[in-house]
Structure 1
Amino acid sequence: MKLPARVDLRADTAWVIFQVLEQGKSSREVLALAQARHSKQDSAWLQEMAMGVFRHLPQLQLWLRELLNQPLKGSKKILEHLILLGFYQQAYSRVSDHAAVSATVNAAELLGGKGLKGLINAVLRNFQRKQLAQQLSEDPIIRSGLPKWLYKRIASAYPEQLDSILAGMNQPAPIWLRVNQQQCTKQAYCAALAAANIRFSESQSHPDAVILIDRAPITSLPGYDEGWFSVQDGAAQLAAPLLEAQAGERVLDCCAAPGGKTAHILERTPGLNHLIALDSEASRLKRMTENLTRLQLSAELVCADAAAPENWWDGNLFDRILLDAPCSATGVIRRHPDIRWLRKAADIETLETLQYRIFTQLWRTLKPGGTLVYATCSILPNENTRQVSRFLSEHSDASLMPIYQEETPERPGRQILPGEQQMDGFYYARLLKS
């Protein structure tokens, strides 16, 4: 379905919401198309509104079912998403009620709903009249903003931390920067931010990181064109230190695009013998090339299936492997709210199978005495601790290199939960090949 012929902020926002929820498109893909039609200010509004709808979708749908007698079907389905946007503006945003109703109703005509403008107006007016914005559901699943299957899995895995996890998932993510120590010291970069009147904080646990307090366009930050920094969450910045690559070593970064961890490895260890960055998507590797070029770094980029080394591996064993495994991305939902609706319960088993196949295939490319770091941006145990425990039990030449003292083969690795020390949800385990 094409964007509305005439440019309209609310019509375009509803189109983005529809594409994600009904067509299964990534918000990153469709947002870029819609935002290209608008000013920077309007683009930011469009993104804020769409992401807000994804975060509060169960509550918005509950109100929709109460106020809309019959669901809209076929080509008119997109108008339900326009109504959801109207609800969100009234309940969760700073948009005035008058603008939320009038401008949303006017957008209906651009989405093929000229004859339904009266219905949409009535629904949004009833929302105001009944003061539904003050009547939030007491159902914990609806309040969580998650699909039922995901809520239940998280509640089962983390009963004591459930409230803090949900709070972390529904908070906007801070912007972490990683200073490229090959181009600029952290001290110098902090001075550059201060000179530009951009407020920030320093992380005590991340030697290369700063966290922005003032949000600003990334490309306008000091040193962007010179490659002084990358945008990378604090949890992802732990990968390179855990891998501990050394000068002269041969390293594989698997499922590497868009290249943040690859770049960090290169920045920390400029004397590497060879680094191969592997990914199965050519478009993502193109973006990775652009990122590495800006940072003035280089690696061998290979487009191939990690689970089939016979198609890309030259037989030379690696000293260290970083496996950033394909996963549910449930740890980064705060950053990408559409994930909660794009991911389905059935996807998890498929991902588990793929993760383990890649894990076992890469293990044979690792030197005896070599290190493999297994990582995901998931918080689901099936993708994390259970995968590593199974691997340890089935591979006698694999042993755990603990990240912290309390680790055991039955409960291996470090699980970071969303919001912990301002980080995304992430998992790491480190294995030694005997």
Structure 2
Amino acid sequence: MSAGQPYAIRQMRMRDHWFTAPLDHAEPAGPSITLYAREISDPALDGQGLPWLLFLQGGPGGRGNRPVALNGWLAEAAKTFRVLMLDQRGTGLSTPANRQTLPLVGDAAAQADYLAHFRATDIVADAELIRAALGSGPWSIFGQSYGGFCALSYLSFAPAGLREVIITGGLGPLAGPADQVYEATFARLMARNAEYFARFPQDRQIVTRIISHAAAVPEFLPTGERLTPERLQMLGNFFGGNTRIDTLHYLLEDAFVPTPDGDRLSDGFLAQVSAQVGRAANPLYALMHESIYVQGAASNWAAARVLARHPEFHPDAAEPLLTGEAVYPWYFEQDPALAPLREVAELLAARTEGWGALYDPVQLGRNTVPVAAAVYSQDIYVDRDISVATAAAVNGLQVWETADFHHDGIADDGEGIFARLLGMVRGTPGEASAVAP
């Protein structure tokens, strides 16, 4: 372990931490990787020996947040914690895993074997190594989205390292095929499409027009590749947020611009779309996405199979619906950042060996660590019914279900959500009594 000198960004005190971890924790003498984490605290509380809170980011494949101010949930957390913002293995300043670095590992088969060590259980083992290196006793963790999946793995395999757990939008299925996830989330996505087009009826025509135009007229993203109808449909990712749904409306407003060759998609629109549908910044998201549900069996492109059963999402539909976060085989043909990883993606999708258990249902059933989770009733990414079933399987887990937020709830009212859940795990009067069963 090494640590840099403390420094300040506005009202935040920060410190960089670096750790060396085995690629495979079962073989500590084997190849190693570097892990990076940023310590964040309130300078006004410096020197008070505050306990640690580990933040587990959503994803998979997302680096830790880069805050520029002490606000939202971070401001609330900094009242009682030193926050450790981890760049999960393969992301950010930790040893990267992308089209540029993975060839250093070997051929596509070697890369797939390498990436088999980039799942929730490996992230938990990294966290325990970091906790020991920092000299911390059992610490608190906060898991957002995929970070909540990691928190459930932590409760399964290293509960002794945990003081308390907070989860937001991150109670995934404990068992079963990945197909169940996409059946549930596509159903919620259909409802969210209906809600959006009822709210902005004028956008129904323009979305259909844009998708038809992209099929007929070559339009190119700033990264050089042709924009396809399928990638345009990925703008449904905006449906995962309370305010982001309005951002989609603004994006569509100036989609077309008149040119000597007729109406074309504007440069501004294409630039904004590229930022939404490209994976250059987080290729692990696409590579590992379905693996977060896999335990002992291949995913075999589960989302693509489920999508084929829903023709209303097909680009050729009379009024095609927008999709969202799911990953499909064509993704690795159309995105330049992913195209070199196509063979690796196919190997991971077909992989049947090396996908160990992500959870221990027996341990979760006898859990004694205080846990509280926010479940968003209309979440299009982590289904409400699956979340409630998972919560029921974890002894003592308290659920706060709300329809006031979507998947990005902590971006809307992170301060209030964090305070509420922390009060629940600590039994603050007035909070636990408000919990929905």
Q: TM-score range by the shorter chain?
A: under 0.3
Which structure is richer in relative contact order (CA contacts within 8 A, separation 6 or more)? 2
